[in-house]
């Protein structure tokens, strides 16, 4: 999504773009996004909502770890982005009056999420792809589909191109560029099974990391509270199900064997609604995930005694559900064999998103209050007109640029926007915002900085040839060592990848401890040693898919170390990062960005203070109340009634 947005914005200005993708661009992982995209509009404004409220919710939801100025700019641009997408022909759901419809989403008491049924990502990516194909027909965009990014090419410390490989012919070649935009998404495959596509290895970001780019907040991994457990992968059940009134519950009696329809309301424990009466089922994802995990794993209250809870939509009109949630209901029925319109879904949390990513910088905008604002502490904030350039300076060349000049990070691979926890429906927004707003920064860098004086096209071939030779040598080493029918776990890349996923899921997801993280780092060291001796089972030099995966496993191991090391050094609990040995948030020592560097084959982390000049941190509680399965003191509050 971010790549398409950036390509369209840059090509619109007349600058030629080479667009690389390991799959057809219309099949990039954003196509799987379901629930919606956040923005204040006039209908939301009539509820008392505003762009500032969106900004405030995002900072509060991210437990005050996000970069505040970029988030303010993103929230201010959000209504403009929705209007632009509407003009592109994205088929947003509409009310009977013809207004764009809105739904509730986690972390807000306001309806501010625009949507296209339950296939919003697909509709948005198709709309942006049409724009890119328009510029492709004009010769401004050249697509390289089924090509894999291998390494950034640096010259005098500046990124001047990339090395990439044709996944069919396995040809490796260099491409010169005056700027490079990484829009490669997340790293779900590091955890084995996740809601991500199998292409989401994080390898592209890891290769930039190994080449010298810094990585921010690697430990901040989002576990989505609602997914279908599966033997092969985990399939997302969108937050939109809860936003449309879905209720999470378990029987009050452990291991109750009755069918859900036979369990009366009085014998159901709607634990989110009891613990968080104001937000109910639409608490942010990190909170919902920990509560579900606690109910199932710690209290043994899961449905049928297993790690699963009910996500119940059966109290809603089936035709209404089909109109609003048809896409995800079909997914559940296809893979489980039950119709969620009439039978509650059985779900459990799953790895879903990486808030961390390549570190990037920015230039502050015009808004600079003398006193930091804080809605949650001091009541309604001072009014702010949502003007362009308040959060970030429009066109500043360093907006979303990494520490390597000329190398940019857009979308999920950019660490800046979500802090310690992403609010649902902010992902699609951050992707498109980066392309639309920070695409101007790329253009200005090309025009006014080093590329304008010393373009990549005129640089000597040495830097480009060296990287091609480096990547060719890596390929030759793997293919020459191939051993047909290799099934030995110690040297088989698929076994190593499976063990990596199991270890990272056990140590670095919902609950983390110092002892377990140290054990994880030791296991990663063992896996890296085994990886140095891997043997492919296929030596083919044409369309060798096992080769591509084996290469990615090495990159995933590097990224996994950054995740585990950051989680170990962050001795607090904040957002998605929960340490049972350090259960409180520690703003004094850790209201800082985790900055990972990879130098000399080793990864190190340090903590860099963040700029909290717009909103001061406060306790993040969402009005929590104590609750237990026997409690009858708090009447259930349906999300639809909030």
What is residue 147's three-state secondary structure?
Answer: strand
Nearest alpha carbon to residue 151 among 554, 566, 436? 554
Q: How far apart are CA 297 and CA 300, in angstroms?
A: 6
Query: Catalytic one among 100, 103, 158, 285?
Result: 285
Nearest alpha carbon to residue 174 among 184, 166, 182? 166
Q: How far apart are CA 5 and CA 580, in angstroms?
A: 40
Q: How far apart are CA 414 and CA 571, in angstroms?
A: 24
What is residue 311's three-state secondary structure?
Answer: strand
Q: Cα angle vertex 200, ends 197, 206, to 5°? A: 175
Q: Give catalytic status of residue 268 as yes or no.
A: no
Indicate the DSSP class of residue 296: I
Q: How far apart are CA 264 and CA 140, in angstroms?
A: 62
Q: Are 203 and 481 in contact (CB under 8 A)?
A: no
Q: How far apart are CA 152 and CA 569, in angstroms?
A: 29
Q: How far apart are CA 212 and CA 170, in angstroms?
A: 26
* Helices assigned H by DSSP within 395-544: 427-433, 439-448, 450-453, 462-480, 493-507, 514-531
Q: How far apart are CA 427 and CA 62, in angstroms?
A: 13
Residue 35's alpha-carbon distances to 69, 118, 244, 424, 620, in angstroms, are: 26, 5, 10, 8, 24
- The distance in angstroms from the start CA to the end CA of the chain is 32
DSSP states of 175-194: EE-S-EEE-----GGGGSS-
Nearest alpha carbon to residue 572 among 557, 558, 556, 590? 590
Q: How far apart are CA 533 and CA 550, in angstroms?
A: 12
Residues identified as active-site: 285
């Amino acid at each position: 999504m971010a790549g398409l947005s950036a390509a369209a914005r840059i090509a619109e200005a007349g600058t030629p773009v080479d667009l690389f993708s390991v799959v057809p661009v219309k099949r990039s992982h954003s196509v799987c996004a379901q629930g919606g995209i956040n923005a204040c509009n006039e209908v939301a404004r009539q509820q008392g909502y505003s762009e500032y409220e969106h900004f405030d919710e995002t900072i509060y939801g991210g437990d005050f770890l996000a970069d505040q100025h970029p988030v303010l700019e993103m929230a201010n641009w959000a209504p403009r982005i929705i209007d632009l997408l509407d003009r592109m022909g994205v088929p947003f759901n509409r009310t009977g009056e013809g207004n764009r419809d809105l739904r509730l989403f986690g972390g807000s008491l306001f309806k501010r999420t625009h949507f296209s049924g339950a296939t919003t990502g697909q509709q948005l990516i198709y709309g942006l792809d049409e724009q890119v194909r328009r510029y492709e027909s004009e010769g401004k965009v050249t697509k390289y589909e089924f090509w894999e990014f291998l390494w950034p090419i640096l010259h005098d410390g500046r990124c001047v191109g990339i090395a990439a490989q044709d996944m069919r012919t396995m040809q490796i070649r260099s491409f010169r560029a005056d700027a490079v935009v990484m829009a490669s998404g997340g790293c779900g495959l590091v955890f084995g099974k996740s809601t991500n596509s199998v292409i989401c290895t994080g390898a592209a970001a890891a290769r930039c990391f190994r080449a010298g780019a810094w990585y921010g907040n690697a430990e901040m991994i989002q576990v989505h509270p609602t997914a279908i457990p599966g033997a092969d992968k985990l399939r997302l059940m969108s937050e939109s199900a809860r936003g449309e009134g879905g209720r999470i519950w378990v029987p009050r009696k452990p291991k109750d064997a009755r069918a859900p329809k036979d369990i009366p309301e009085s014998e159901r424990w709607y634990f989110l609604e009891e613990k968080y009466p104001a937000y109910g089922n639409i608490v942010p994802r990190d909170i919902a995930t920990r509560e579900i995990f606690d109910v199932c794993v710690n209290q043994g209250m899961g449905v049928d005694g297993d790690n699963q809870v009910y996500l119940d939509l059966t109290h809603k009109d089936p035709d209404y559900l089909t109109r609003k949630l048809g896409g995800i209901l079909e997914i559940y029925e296809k893979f489980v064999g039950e119709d969620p319109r009439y039978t509650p879904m059985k779900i459990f949390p799953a790895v879903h998103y990486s808030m961390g990513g390549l570190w990037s910088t920015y230039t502050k905008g015009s808004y600079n209050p003398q006193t930091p604002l804080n809605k949650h502490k001091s009541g309604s904030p001072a009014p702010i007109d949502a003007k362009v350039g308040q959060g970030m300076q429009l066109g500043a060349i360093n907006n979303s640029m990494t520490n390597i000049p000329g190398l940019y990070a857009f979308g999920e691979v950019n660490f800046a926007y979500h802090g310690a926890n992403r609010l649902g429906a902010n992902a699609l927004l951050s992707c498109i915002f980066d392309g639309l707003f920070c695409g101007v920064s790329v253009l200005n860098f090309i025009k006014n900085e080093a590329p304008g004086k010393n373009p990549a096209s005129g640089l000597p071939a040495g830097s480009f040839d060296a990287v091609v030779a480096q990547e060719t040598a890596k390929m030759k080493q793997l293919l020459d060592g191939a051993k047909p029918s290799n099934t030995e776990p110690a040297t088989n890349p698929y076994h190593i990848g499976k063990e990596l996923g199991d270890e990272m899921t056990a140590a670095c997801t919902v609950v983390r401890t110092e002892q377990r993280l140290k054990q994880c780092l030791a296991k990663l060291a063992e896996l890296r040693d085994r990886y140095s001796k891997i043997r492919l089972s296929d030596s083919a030099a044409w369309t060798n898919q096992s080769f591509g995966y084996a290469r990615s496993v090495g990159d995933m191991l590097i990224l996994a170390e950054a995740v585990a090391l950051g989680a170990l050094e962050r001795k607090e609990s904040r957002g998605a990062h929960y340490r049972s040995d350090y259960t409180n948030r520690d703003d004094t020592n850790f209201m800082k960005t985790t900055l990972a560097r990879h130098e000399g084959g080793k990864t190190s982390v340090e903590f860099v203070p963040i700029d909290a000049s717009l909103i001061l941190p406060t306790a993040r509680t969402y009005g929590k109340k104590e609750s237990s399965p026997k409690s009858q003191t708090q009447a259930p509050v349906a999300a639809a009634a909030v």
